[in-house]
C-alpha cells in the first residue's frame, strides 16, 4: 500500500517511517523541512508547505497514495506564540489534505488529534463525547479538524478516522508541545545530568509511549470500517504526575538532578487538559489496548536514549 505521511519530520514521523517500511508499505513524505539524516532509504521525501494548497495538491497527485497519515501541525506551546500561523498550518493544511484526498481519490485520511481538544473543568475520566472548549489555538484547530474530516466523510464518502493522542514520549525530537517536559526529563536528564521541568510536580496529564501510539495508528487505520462507531477515538495508556515521571527517571539514571519551576503559561495549558481519559470506545470497537505503563516505558526507553546519545554525541543536528 502507498502511504503519504505529512509532517513526518516531527516526533511521530521519526518512528513511524521505519515502522511503515517494515510492514512493506511504499512510503512518501510531505514536509516543510529538507530530508533529515535519519530518514530511511526508500522513503520518497517531498518538500513543501502544508499551508499552500497548490503544493499540497501537487504532492498528493504525484504520490498517488492509498492512505494519508496527516501529522503536520504546530503543537500547543509553539502555537500560542504564532496563533494565526497555527490556524493556517493546522486547519487550512487539514482542509487542503482532505480536499486533495477527495480530488485524487485517496481511500483514507488518518488524523492525529489530541487531548488538547478538551478544555478545563471536565470530570475524569473524560470520554469521547463531552463539550470541547480548548484554550489553545492548537486545540481549537484540532477540534475544527475533527469536524471537517467528519464533514468530508458524511458528504463526500471519504474514509476519515483518527485518534486523540495523549502526550507522546519517545527517544526522539520534542516538537513544541506542552507535554514535552516528560520527554526532556529523560533526554536532558541523561544527556546533561539535569533538567528543570516547566510544571509543578503535581501536574498530571495522559501520556503514551510511542510504540503504543504507532500501533494505535496502524490498528485503527486497518480496522474494518463496519466495526467503527465513530471517526475519532480517545486512546489512553497512563496518567502519571510529573513527580512520578521524575521518580521513574531517577530510579534508572542515578544522580540525575530533576527540579520543577512552573511556567505560568504552559502550566495553564496543562491544567486545562484532562488528567485521565476514558478510551472504552476504542477498546470496544477495534480492540485498542496499551502495552506500556510508566515502569515498562521507562525500562525500555532509557537504553534507547543512551544509545542515541552515544551514537550522536552532541553533534549539530543530532535529534536528541
Ligand atoms: C502538545 O503538548 O501540544 C502535544 C499534545 C498533547 O497534543 N504533545
pLDDT tens digits along 13-42: 999 999 999 999 999 999 999 999 999 999
Banded model confidence at residue 311, pLDDT cuts 50, 70, 90: confident
Kindly state whether residues 132 and 198 are assigned to the same domain: no
Residue 286 lies in a domain: no
Residues 6+ apart with CB under 8 A from 292: 208, 209, 211, 212, 237, 238, 300
pLDDT at 40: 95
Question: What is the atom index within ligand 1 of the atom nearest the CA of 273?
Answer: 6
Residue 36 lies in a domain: yes
Kindly state whether residues 62 and 147 are assigned to the same domain: yes
CATH code of the domain containing 176: 3.90.25
pLDDT tens digits along 234-263: 999 999 999 999 999 999 999 999 999 999
Residue 282 lies in a domain: no
H or E element at residue 81: helix 76-81
- CA 174 to centroid of ligand 1, rounded, Å: 10
Question: What is the atom index within ligand 1 of the atom nearest the CA of 205?
Answer: 6
Question: Cell 513524505, residue?
Answer: 29
Is the C-beta atom of 115 inside 6 A of ligand 1? yes
User: Looking at ligand 1, which residue's alpha carbon is closest to its atom 5?
Assistant: 167
pLDDT tens digits along 127-159: 999 999 999 999 999 999 999 999 999 999 999
- CA 265 to centroid of ligand 1, rounded, Å: 14
pLDDT at position 276 over 60: yes
Kindly state whether residues 150 and 217 are assigned to the same domain: yes
Question: What is the atom index within ligand 1 of the atom nearest the CA of 175?
Answer: 8
Is the C-beta atom of 175 inside 6 A of ligand 1? no
Banded model confidence at residue 175, pLDDT cuts 50, 70, 90: confident
Kindly state whether residues 199 and 117 are assigned to the same domain: no
Kindly state whether residues 80 and 195 are assigned to the same domain: no
Residue 41 lies in a domain: yes
pLDDT at 286: 98
User: Looking at ligand 1, which residue's alpha carbon is closest to its atom 7?
Assistant: 114
Of all residues in the chain, what percent are helix, strand and coil, respectively (each to 5)?
45, 15, 35
Alpha helix segments (H runs only) across the chain: 11-22, 53-63, 76-81, 83-86, 93-103, 137-156, 180-192, 210-222, 242-252, 264-272, 280-286, 294-312
pLDDT at 173: 67
Query: What percent of the chain stands above pLDDT 70?
Result: 97
CA nearest neighbour of 249 among 190, 311, 206: 190
Kindly state whether residues 226 and 119 are assigned to the same domain: yes
Give the chain's length. 320
Q: Which domain holds residue 126?
A: 2-168+208-234
Question: What is the atom index within ligand 1 of the atom nearest the CA of 165?
Answer: 7
Kindly state whether residues 144 and 195 are assigned to the same domain: no
Domain finish residue from 216, 234, 252:
234
User: Looking at ligand 1, which residue's alpha carbon is closest to its atom 1?
Assistant: 177
For residues 3 and 20, give the distance between their C-alpha atoms in angstroms, rounded to a whole number: 8
User: Looking at ligand 1, which residue's alpha carbon is closest to its atom 4?
Assistant: 177
Kindly state whether residues 70 and 116 are assigned to the same domain: yes
CB 213 within 8 A of CB 168: yes
pLDDT at position 317 over 80: no
CATH code of the domain containing 64: 3.40.50.720
pLDDT at position 281 over 80: yes
Mutational pocket test of ligand 1: of 13, 168, 268, the residue with most ligand atoms within 8 Å of the beta carbon: 168
Residue 264 lies in a domain: yes
pTM for the full predicted model:
0.96
Kindly state whether residues 185 and 114 are assigned to the same domain: no
Residue 284 lies in a domain: no
pLDDT at position 313 over 80: no
Residues 6+ apart with CB under 8 A from 192: none
H or E element at residue 29: strand 26-31
**Catalytic site includes residue 138:** yes
For residues 91 and 85, give the distance between their C-alpha atoms in angstroms, rounded to a whole number: 10
Residue 178 lies in a domain: yes
Question: What is the atom index within ligand 1 of the atom nearest the CA of 179?
Answer: 2
Is the C-beta atom of 114 inside 6 A of ligand 1? yes
Kindly state whether residues 155 and 18 are assigned to the same domain: yes
Mutational pocket test of ligand 1: of 10, 81, 116, 118, the residue with most ligand atoms within 8 Å of the beta carbon: 116
Kindly state whether residues 109 and 214 are assigned to the same domain: yes
For residues 190 and 246, give the distance between their C-alpha atoms in angstroms, rounded to a whole number: 12
Query: What percent of the chain stands above pLDDT 90?
Result: 95
Kindly state whether residues 106 and 175 are assigned to the same domain: no
pLDDT at 312: 74
Q: How many domains does the structure of the chain reveal?
A: 2
* From 96, 138, 195, 209, the catalytic residue: 138
Mutational pocket test of ligand 1: of 177, 270, 272, the residue with most ligand atoms within 8 Å of the beta carbon: 177
Amino acid at each position: 500500500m502507498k502511504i503519504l505521511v505529512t509532517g513526518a519530520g516531527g516526533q511521530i514521523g521519526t518512528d513511524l517511517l521505519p515502522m511503515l517500511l517494515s510492514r512493506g508499505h511504499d512510503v512518501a513524505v510531505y514536509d516543510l523541512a529538507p530530508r533529515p539524516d535519519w530518514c530511511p532509504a526508500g522513503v520518497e521525501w517531498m518538500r513543501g508547505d502544508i499551508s499552500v494548497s497548490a503544493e499540497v495538491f501537487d504532492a498528493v497527485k504525484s504520490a498517488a497514495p492509498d492512505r494519508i497519515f496527516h501529522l503536520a501541525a504546530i503543537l500547543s506551546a509553539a502555537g500560542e506564540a504564532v496563533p494565526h500561523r497555527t490556524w493556517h498550518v493546522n486547519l487550512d493544511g487539514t482542509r487542503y489534505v482532505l480536499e486533495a484526498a477527495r480530488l485524487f481519490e485517496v481511500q483514507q485520511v488518518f488524523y492525529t488529534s489530541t487531548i488538547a481538544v478538551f478544555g478545563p473543568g471536565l470530570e475524569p475520566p473524560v470520554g469521547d463525547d463531552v463539550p470541547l472548549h480548548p484554550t489553545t489555538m492548537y486545540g481549537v484547530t484540532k477540534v475544527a479538524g475533527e469536524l471537517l474530516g467528519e464533514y468530508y466523510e458524511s458528504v463526500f464518502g471519504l474514509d476519515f478516522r483518527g485518534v486523540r493522542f495523549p502526550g507522546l514520549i519517545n527517544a526522539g525530537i520534542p516538537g513544541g508541545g506542552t507535554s514535552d517536559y516528560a520527554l526532556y526529563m529523560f533526554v536532558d536528564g541523561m544527556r546533561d545530568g539535569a533538567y528543570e521541568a516547566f510544571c509543578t510536580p503535581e501536574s498530571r496529564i495522559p501520556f503514551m509511549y510511542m510504540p503504543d501510539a504507532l500501533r494505535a495508528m496502524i490498528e485503527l487505520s486497518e480496522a474494518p470500517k463496519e466495526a467503527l462507531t465513530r471517526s475519532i477515538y480517545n486512546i489512553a495508556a497512563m496518567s502519571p504526575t510529573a513527580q512520578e515521571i521524575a521518580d521513574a527517571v531517577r530510579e534508572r539514571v542515578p544522580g540525575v538532578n530533576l527540579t520543577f519551576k512552573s511556567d505560568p503559561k504552559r502550566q495553564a495549558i496543562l491544567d486545562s487538559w484532562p488528567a485521565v481519559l476514558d478510551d472504552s470506545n476504542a477498546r470496544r470497537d477495534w480492540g485498542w489496548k496499551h502495552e506500556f505503563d510508566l515502569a515498562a516505558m521507562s525500562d525500555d526507553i532509557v537504553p534507547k536514549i543512551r544509545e542515541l546519545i552515544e551514537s550522536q554525541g552532541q553533534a549539530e543536528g543530532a535529534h536528541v
